Structure 1
Amino acid sequence: MNDLKDNPLYISWHDSAWIPHINQATVLDYFGERSNPFYDRTCNNETLKMQKASLDQLENMTGTEYILLHVQEPILYVIRKQHRHSKDQVTPLTDYYVLAGYVYQAPDLNSVINFRLTTALHHLSQAFEEVHSFARYHPSKGYSWDFDKDGKSKEKKRESDKESEKLKEEPISAFQRARVDMLIHELCKKFPPPQSKK
C-alpha cells in the first residue's frame, strides 16, 4: 500500500486559488508552485525565475528544465521535464499533464505495458478457470467436456435456473399490470390486428 502512495502515477496536485487563472502564459508558473511535488527546485526554470529572466534563455543553458509541450485551452496543458545537453540536444525525462487545474504525471511506456499485460493475464486466468469448470474425468472414458446447448456447464445452468425462478416468483404490482395493459391497448389502436376474410 505504501508503494502506491510513493508512486507519482497515483498522486495528483492542485491549487484551488490558481485554477481560474491558468492559461498558456501562466501554466508554467502554476506548475512551479512550491507545494507541487512534481516540480524540481534545482531546474533551470527556477534559476531563471530567481534572476527574473525570460524562459527564452532555457535553450542557452544545460540541465533539467520544464517546457510547455502541448496546449488545448482552457482545460489541458502538457508539460515536459527534460534534460538539455546543448541548444539542439535534449533528453525527455517525464511528461505531466494539467487537466482542469489538476497536475498528474503521465505514465511511462513501462507502466502502460505492465498494466496491459497484468490485465490480459487476469482475463486469461479467468478464462482458464471457466474452461476448467467444464472439464470432467471418468476412469473408463477419460477427460471430456460437459456443455449443454447454450455452452454452459450443468452447474452454471442450475445456478441461472435458480436465479430465473426467483425472478418468476416476484409478483407483478397493480401499477405494472395497468401499465402493461395500457401499452398493449395503445399498440392495438396503432396497429390493429388484420381482419379475417370470410
Structure 2
Amino acid sequence: MSDRSTDFAAIPAAHRNLSDTARQRARIATMALFFIAGMVYGSWGVHVPTVRDRFQLSPALLSVALLAVAGGSIGAMAANASWIARVGTRRACLTGGLVMSVCVALILVVPFYWMLLVVLALFGAGMATLDVAMNAEASAVEKALRKPIMSSLHGMFSVGGMVGAAVGGALLAHGMAPAVHLGLAAALSALVLIAACP
C-alpha cells in the first residue's frame, strides 16, 4: 500500500486524474515533439553545404556559423531552466519549437553573413529550449504511464533526423529549391507543434 502511495505521489499533479486515453494521447504528442525536433535538425544538416556555397564561406567562416548554433544552444540551456519551470513545459515547448521553426525557414533567406549568425544562434537556442522542455515533459508522461518510455522517445528523435535528412536529400535531388525545402520543414514543424502542445 505504501508503495502505491509513493508511486501516486511521484505522478505530476496535472497527470494524476487523467484517463488512460488522455495519458496515451500525451505520449503520442510527446513522441511527435521528439520526431519534429529530429526532423528539423536533419533538414538543417542537409543544407550545411548549401549555406557554405550561398554565402561563399571559407572553412573558418563556416565553422563560426556552426559554432553559432552550438553557442545559442549552450546559452539557452544555461539560462532557460528556471523559465521552463515557471511557465511549464507546454508553453516552453511551443515557444522554443516555434523559434526553431521560424529560424530554420530564415537560414537560406537572410542576405548577409552576420544575419545568418544571428539566425543560427537563435535556431540553436530554440532547439535547446524545446529539447529541455520536451525531456521534462517526457519524464512527467513516463511517470503518469508508470512504465519506461524514454528510450522510445529518444528513438523518435533519431527517426526524425533520418527522415529529415533523407527527404531533404531526395527533394533536392529532384530540383526543389533549398529555401523552399527548409520553408516546408518549418511549416510542418510549426503545425505539429501547435497540434501536439495542447
TM-score range, shorter chain: under 0.3
Higher strand share: 1
Flag the structure with more relative contact order, 1 or 2, with Cα contacts below 8 A and sequence separation at least 6.
2
**Structure-2-length-normalised TM-score:** 0.21
TM-score (norm 1): 0.21
Structure showing the higher helix proportion among its residues: 2
